[in-house]
């Protein structure tokens, strides 16, 4: 999301139709799949993570790769913190800013790591 001449401009697949609900973490029945993914991601607090598969399960699907695709198109970063989504084994995957930046962001938020991966036993949140 960018501001130009005092107006909000939505980029990369965000049409702004549900922006308030997405940022508030409240799913609406008429949201697209991507909007629902972004909404769930908006609920992940600083210092915690979730997984692509956990978001997919929350949406009643097994399509964890579609979750990753939606996050890749997240127009609301950093307000919708897609860097807080990791692989099911705690691995750092898929981040437009690069894996080193994702690790830096997570570490700066206090996310626990063990053996090069996020320690999900310590840092995973309930969705």
- For residue 95, the model assigns a pLDDT of 86
The DSSP bridge pattern shows strands 117-118 and 113-114 to be: antiparallel
Q: Which residue has the tokens 């913190």?
A: 81
Please state the three-class secondary structure of 83-120 as a single string: HHEECCCCCCCCCCCCHHHHHHHHHHCCCCEECCEECH
| CATH fold of the domain at 2-123 | Arc Repressor Mutant, subunit A (1.10.10)
pLDDT, tens digit (0-9, with 9 covering 90-100), for 41-98: 999 999 999 999 999 999 999 999 999 999 999 999 999 999 999 999 999 998 888 9
Assess whether 41 carries a catalytic annotation.
no
Q: Domain residue spans in the chain?
A: 2-123
Cβ neighbours, 10 Å, residue 120: 20
**Selected catalytic residue, list 82, 85, 118, 120:** 82
Is the pLDDT confidence value at 121 over 60?
yes
């Amino acid at each position: 999301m960018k501001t130009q001449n005092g107006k909000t401009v939505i980029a990369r697949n965000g049409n702004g139709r549900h922006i308030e609900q997405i940022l508030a973490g409240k799913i609406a029945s008429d949201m697209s799949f991507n909007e629902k993914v972004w909404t769930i991601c908006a609920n992940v607090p600083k210092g915690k993570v979730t997984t692509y598969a956990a978001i997919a399960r929350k949406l009643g699907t097994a399509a964890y790769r579609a979750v990753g695709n939606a996050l890749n198109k997240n127009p609301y970063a950093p307000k919708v913190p897609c860097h807080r989504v990791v692989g099911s084994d705690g691995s750092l995957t898929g981040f437009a800013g690069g894996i080193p930046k994702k690790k830096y962001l997570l570490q700066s938020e206090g996310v626990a790591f063990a053996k090069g991966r996020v320690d999900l036993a310590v840092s995973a949140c309930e969705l």
